Amino acid sequence: MIENKLSRNSGLWKQEFGEEFAVPETIAAEMIDQSWHNDACPSFTMMYPTDVVPTLYVNHPDPAKREGFDERYCVTVNGDDVLVTDDVSEAVTWIKFHTQHYGHDVTGSMRAGYVSVCWDCDEELKAHNGR
């Protein structure tokens, strides 16, 4: 049953990277799979795929086999990293926030201490690893 659901919703990352990447079902089932083998790892979005919308990268489960960043998950907006984390629910929360507020006046990046603020909606998001 699970296998059917996964293959219906997320065949692409398996084709491009192989099952060893073990993308969590909560990501595979909810998001648009835009994985491409020329990237370091599978990637997902909640908007129509282009290379600038909020994107969630899912790194290899084995830290020794990771490329590009050390954690399991990375969220980027317009190509800038806004979050790296090992917590899947945090990664999903962040890509949802940045998708919901895409095009708004949003500040925040990893360099800003893992805090994102939408000044249009007056909403703030803080990561667990925020200082």
- Write phi, then psi, for 77 (nearest 5 degrees): -130, 125
CB 83 within 8 A of CB 114: yes
Least distance CB 124 / Zn ion (angstroms): 11
Q: Which of residues 92-131 bind Zn ion (CB under 5 A)?
A: 101, 104, 118, 120-121
Q: Pattern 56-95, binding to Zn ion, x per CB under 5 A?
A: ----------------------------------------
Check if the beta carbon of residue 59 is closer than 8 Å to that of residue 74. yes
Q: Which is nearer to Zn ion, 66 or 96 (CB)?
A: 96
The CB-of-101 to Zn ion minimum distance in angstroms stands at 4
Helices (H), 75-116: 88-100
| Alpha carbon of residue 51 to chain centroid | 13
Report the interface residues with Zn ion, using CB under 5 A: 101, 104, 118, 120-121
